[in-house]
Structure 1
Amino acid sequence: MDTQVWSDFLQQNWLVIVIALIVLFVVLNLVKTMVKWALVIIIVVAVLVYSGVSLEKIKDVANDVTTETVDKLKSEATNIMMKEAKEAKYTSDAVGNFSITTPNLEMKGQKGKDKVEVSLRGVALGQWKISDTVESFIAEAKNNSNVTSGK
């Protein structure tokens, strides 16, 4: 979210924010039931609505942050995939399911499918289309398994 927008909002509406904080403080200290939390939520929503921040904007910001985080994780996973390809262990079963593991990455898929499940350090990154990088990683892992099984 743009810090300049928040800075301008705080400069223009500091009095409303201070009053809202005082009301919240009083509500939290005087009211001891579930009504307290309902009042807190109402006050926070009122301040957000007054500030012009809509729930749609909050949702957009949350989506942007999520997308950016996932993209960074995918980029990191791709880098780790290339670095750890030599250590990758390929296993498969008779049905065609396969699994590739490295110290930090796990990939699961099925022969003939165009997507694989990828996890980075135990965090699922969802289904990835099999790109050139993923395909070369799978080939390297198969190579490693053939080399180690021949010993």
Structure 2
Amino acid sequence: MDVQVWTEFLRQNWLVIAVALVVLLLIVNLVKTVVKWALVLLIAAFIVIYSGISLKDIGDAVNTVKDQAVEYSKNEVLNAMKNEAKEAKWVQNGDGTFTITTPNLEVTGTPGNDKVKVVFRGVSLGEWKMSDALEIFVQEAEKNSK
């Protein structure tokens, strides 16, 4: 979402926006029911549709933010793996899986499998493919437990 696009939109449609804001204020002050919020949402949707912003644009923006957050989380996890590898505790579970725990991480997997489940600070980050960094972390934890 470019700031220049928004300023141009505001410059061209300031009258429509001003009228919509006045109508919204009147609705909020005069109507005291659920209908009030339905009308507020309807007017807000009208302004969004009138501005030319589609739901696809909003979805693209959300996906971009999500992708950036996932990439940032992965970097944080990999840094935590590097920093906490010496404290990693390897536990062989009864079902053939292993669990590695550190103060901030929990990695669960099956020996020989190329995927592990990663939990960072209590938040599940799903299944990850075994990368070089993960492989080194697992080996370090295994070495620590012997």
Provide the C-alpha distance between the structure 2 equivalents of 1:21 and 1:75, rounded to a whole number of angstroms.
Answer: 43
User: Structure 2 CA distance, aligned partners of 1:15 and 1:92?
Assistant: 68
The residue identity in structure 2 corresponding to 1:64 is: T
Report what 1:116 is aligned to: 116
- 8 A Cα contact 2:90 2:101, kept in partner: yes
Deviation sequence 1:3-28 (CA, Å, 0-9, x none): 22222222222222222111111111
State the distance in 1 between where 2:3 and 2:125 align. Answer: 29
Cross-structure match for 1:149: none
Whole-Å separation in 1 of the counterparts to 2:106 and 2:48? 42
Matched residues, percent identical? 54
CA-CA distance at 1:93 after TM superposition: 1.1
1:33-88 per-position Cα deviation (integer Å, ceiling 9, x unaligned): 11111111110110000000001110110011001111111011111111111111
TM-score, normalised to structure 2, is 0.93
Query: Does the aligned pair in 1 maintain the 2:115–2:128 contact within 8 Å?
Result: yes
Task: List aligned pairs for 1:98-109, cutoff 5 A.
Answer: 98-109=98-109
Say if 2:134 is the partner of 1:134. Answer: yes
2:81 is matched with 81
- Contact 2:105/2:118 (CA < 8 Å) preserved in 1? yes
Question: 1:89 & 1:3 partners in 2: Cα distance?
Answer: 49
Instruction: Output the CA distance in 2 between the equivalents of 1:90 and 1:12.
Output: 63
Residue 20 of structure 2 corresponds to which residue in structure 1?
20
Q: Residue 77 of structure 2: SS of its match in structure 1?
A: helix
Tell me how far apart the structure 2 counterparts of residues 77 and 20 of structure 1 sit (CA, whole Å): 46
Q: Which amino acid aligns with 2:94?
A: A
Q: Which structure 1 segments of 5+ residues have no match?
A: 147-151
Q: TM-score, normalised by structure 1?
A: 0.90
Which residue in the other structure is 1:6 paired with? Answer: 6
Q: Output aligned runs, 1:13-52, within 5 Å.
A: 13-52=13-52
1:139 positional shift: 0.5
